[in-house]
Structure 1
Amino acid sequence: MISLYGHPFSSYTWKAEIALHSCGIEYRLRQVDPGHPDNTAFVAEHGGPFAKFPVLEEEDGTIVFEASSIIEHLVATRPDAAHLIPADRALEIRNLDRVFDNYVMNVMNVAVLEQLRAPDAPDTARQDEVRAQLRRVYAWLEPKADALGRDPLTMADCAAAPALFYADWVEEIGPACPDLKALRERLNAMPEVRACIDAAYPFRQLFPLGAPDRD
């Protein structure tokens, strides 16, 4: 069976898991944390220059790290994964994938890391800047949102689901972006995503900002 090294609360682990779920591919999640030193050591060796997960290990020994690369690998090696990057929308889907990773998830993480760095005295100006940037990208995504989150899921949806799930806790998607808010709700309800939400629930106390009692 395929092994995916990651953590149930990790947004980028979700991204790879959602893709695997959408293709009906069975896999074993090998949790990376202090309680699983062998898995941590595997990621240290195979998770790129900064030992990041997720890392996919195929039965034939092929190893791929980075969630987008894992999805590209699935598309390249499995006919049942073609829907993740449809040929007639390939550039659009790849572009949106990068937007959700770089301009939603990675931006949001700046505020989270600041809260973890100094929980009693975070740099609130820095966090306010993050929230302003999220509002800007929400507005940019709004006219594109209605076309996303449809069956079958694409790589852009795999990126959007965890990015919007967590970013909304830091800066809630407001009434100015009803289609984006609806996209988040639509993705959260999909079984491929819901499985990740449910598996991550026991770890919500790790999230230092926002409203983790929602959803």
Structure 2
Amino acid sequence: MSLTLYMHPLASFCHKVLIALYENEVTFRPETIDLGDPGSTAALLAKWPVGKIPVLHDGDRERVVPETSVIIEYLQQHYSGPVPLLPEDQDARLEARLWDRVFDLHVSVPMQKIVTDRIRPEGGNDPFGVADARRTLDTAYAMIDTQLAGKRWATGDHFTIADCAAAPGLFFASIVHPFDGGQANLASYFERLLDRPSIARTLSEARPYFSMFPYREAMPDRFLYDGVS
């Protein structure tokens, strides 16, 4: 098998790439990385010394591809399928890349700040940083709600890289910092994301690991069991 994805089923940035793979039914081998296991970590570091996941290895081309957005673009270039996640039109492609960055940097990153602060050693918490992360999410939610007016997906009628980024970021962020009740566009979009087969599959595969999530007690029941709506 040519493609190996070094990943963890609970990691939101890994979800982003998994969604892209499943959208186009790309064959790959998942390699789960346990950062608490020196052997598992060594396998990752041998491919990408930064030690961040996900990382894609293409055995046919002997190419290591890190960084989620770059991985998705690489897949489109070399393993394209029926769903072009980066549009051919240059303006549409730029818009998809923009909102990919918005979801990564202004939803997923502050969400992770809130999550990781909960598991810091006693006395090592960063309440100022967490408050700032929550403000960032409030700003992002408002921007996204406005952006989604009249749109089915993040940038229009077509599912793109931006939606691959949106799904995991919004999934975990909605747990640690729920949406404002008046953000109807955002709420409806989130439900469409959850109904997308590639996203439903990704979350179903992650479900056995949800007990490891630091905010597990805040997860709605419908996220914890298959078939619960």
Unaligned segments of structure 2, at least 5 residues: 224-229
Equivalent of residue 97 in structure 2, options 70, 84, 94:
94
Equivalent of residue 205 in structure 1, options 201, 205, 211:
211
**Over aligned residues, Cα RMSD in angstroms?**
2.3
Post-superposition offset of 1:189:
1.4
Q: Distance in 2 between matches of 1:181 and 1:96?
A: 17
- 2:192 counterpart of 1:186: yes
Q: What secondary structure does 2:77 align onto?
A: helix
Letter aligned with residue 166 of structure 2: A
Contact 1:46 1:65 in 2 (8 A): no
Residue-by-residue CA offset, 1:138-160 (whole Å, 9 max, x unaligned): 00111223341688631101100
Inter-CA distance 154–119: structure 2 relative to 1 (3 Å threshold) = farther
**Which residue pairs with 1:45 in the alignment?**
46
Contact 1:22 1:153 in 2 (8 A): no
Post-superposition offset of 1:118:
4.0
Q: Distance in 1 between matches of 2:32 and 2:41?
A: 8
Q: What secondary structure does 1:57 align onto?
A: strand
Contact 2:86 2:160 in 1 (8 A): yes
Moved more, 37-46 or 94-103: 37-46
Count of residues in correspondence between the two structures: 214
**Which residue pairs with 2:183 in the alignment?**
177
**Which residue pairs with 1:148 in the alignment?**
153
- Select the structure that is richer in helix: 1
Post-superposition offset of 1:205:
2.2
Equivalent of residue 116 in structure 2, options 92, 113, 118:
113
Post-superposition offset of 1:9:
0.3
Q: Distance in 2 between matches of 1:134 and 1:112?
A: 13
Contact 1:101 1:163 in 2 (8 A): yes
Q: What secondary structure does 2:119 align onto?
A: helix
Unaligned segments of structure 1, at least 5 residues: none
Q: Distance in 2 between matches of 1:158 and 1:81?
A: 15
Contact 2:16 2:164 in 1 (8 A): yes
Contact 1:131 1:171 in 2 (8 A): yes
